[in-house]
Amino acid sequence: MSDWLSTLRDQFGDYLTLEKAFELMRAAILLAVGLVIASLLSRAIRRLIADRLPPQQVQLIRRLVYYLLLGLFVVAGLHQLGFNLSVLLGAAGVLSVAAGFASQTSASNLVSGLFLIFERPFEVGDTIQVGGTTGEVLAIDLLSVKLRTFDNIFVRLPNESMIKSEVRTLSRFPIRRIDVQVGVAYDSDLALVRATLMATADRNPLSLDEPKPLLQLLAFGDSAINLQFSVWTLRENFVALKTRIQEEIKAAFDEAGVEIPFPQRTLSAGRTAPLPVTLVEPAASEPAGD
């Protein structure tokens, strides 16, 4: 053990000549200067572009500048120590190809993340819907997008899936439309239905006066005439109005005598005579059995 240690000490002593010590010191100084310059320059660039670009792009550019500068100084430091950089870079190239094959998914997410950051389909704070998940965007990172759903669950969505699937940004435009689907009985007066619905929207201050509410007849359904009543509202009032307008439609229909029917079935005996129907009086009070 002591022989091994003494051999190591001798070899280290042979290597660490005065010249080598100076080279090491120069490399260390280069690295320290690189750290300071990279930090200062990345901060200056952040200040310069902070007002012009969204925070994700600012953060990305800042990190790129920082690591690029730091990398240059590390390479210069290694060169100072006598490393053959062409060999090192060649090895790094082979290594990166190998790492690329090994981490295809991560690389795909990384590239997708760059697309997301520069395409800007949504920003931090927006509400988006991806597949069955709806939530507020907490962060757009290089590998994934983080959401907070409305039931307060943290969701991480890989960037690759965001690029491949349909993403709906619910908070992009300042106003939104609420489509209320309602069925009315076949014997309803449709003019009365229209007037009742329009008056309901008019009474609710959250329902926009312009664009005007819209009533569409969707289909003659099995049990009802199916209608769609669309009202517009400011984005921040969407949830409040969506609930309230349906309650108000129900109350207005009740008041106006418009029936919202249950599913109905009409029994028919075909070409034969109608089925005889006999009302049977309930039996007189029978003694309860034991």
Partner 1 sequence: MPDRKDSSGSWWSRHELAPGHSARWRIGPLGLWALSGQHEWQLAYDWDPELDMAQDWEHEAGAPFPEEPPNHERYVVGDTGDFLTLGPKLADRPVISLPRVPFHLLPEQETTLYVGSPIWLRLSVGEPPVEIKQLPTRRPSDSWFGGSTREGEACYAIKTRALTDLDKLPVFHRSAVTPVLIRNQAADSLWLEKLKLPVPYLSLFAGQDSRLWTERVSLTRSETSGMASLDIRSGPPEEAPGAEPVTRPRLTHEPNLLIRAFGSLFG
Q: For residue 77, give the amino acid letter.
A: G
**Residue closest to 66 by CA, chosen among 94, 95, 100, 42:** 42
Site string (264-283) toward partner 1, x via CB under 8 A: --------------------
- One residue of 56, 233, 252, 253 binding partner 1 per CB under 8 A: 233
Measured distance CA(124)–CA(133) in Å, rounded: 16
The first and second tokens of residue 277, run together, are 């129907």
Number of residues that bind partner 1 (CB under 8 A): 17
Q: Are 138 and 148 in contact (CB under 8 A)?
A: yes
Measured distance CA(188)–CA(260) in Å, rounded: 9
Measured distance CA(113)–CA(206) in Å, rounded: 38
Measured distance CA(240)–CA(52) in Å, rounded: 34
- Cβ 198 to partner 1 shortest distance, Å: 13
Nearer to partner 1, 157 or 206 (CB): 206
- One residue of 73, 232, 238, 253 binding partner 1 per CB under 8 A: 232
Nearer to partner 1, 42 or 207 (CB): 207
- One residue of 40, 81, 91, 234 binding partner 1 per CB under 8 A: 234
Scan residues 134-173 and list those touching partner 1 (CB under 8 A).
173
- Cβ 163 to partner 1 shortest distance, Å: 24
**74 three-state secondary structure:** helix
Q: Are 197 and 213 in contact (CB under 8 A)?
A: yes
Rule CB under 8 A: say whether 178 interacts with partner 1.
Answer: no
Contacts of residue 150, defined as CB under 8 A and 6 or more positions apart, other chains included, come to: 134, 135
- Cβ 211 to partner 1 shortest distance, Å: 5
Scan residues 194-213 and list those touching partner 1 (CB under 8 A).
202, 204-212
- Cβ 52 to partner 1 shortest distance, Å: 21
Contacts of residue 70, defined as CB under 8 A and 6 or more positions apart, other chains included, come to: 34, 35, 38
- Cβ 174 to partner 1 shortest distance, Å: 7
Nearer to partner 1, 174 or 276 (CB): 174
- Cβ 168 to partner 1 shortest distance, Å: 15
Q: Which chain residues interact with partner 1 by CB under 8 A?
A: 173-175, 202, 204-212, 232-234, 237
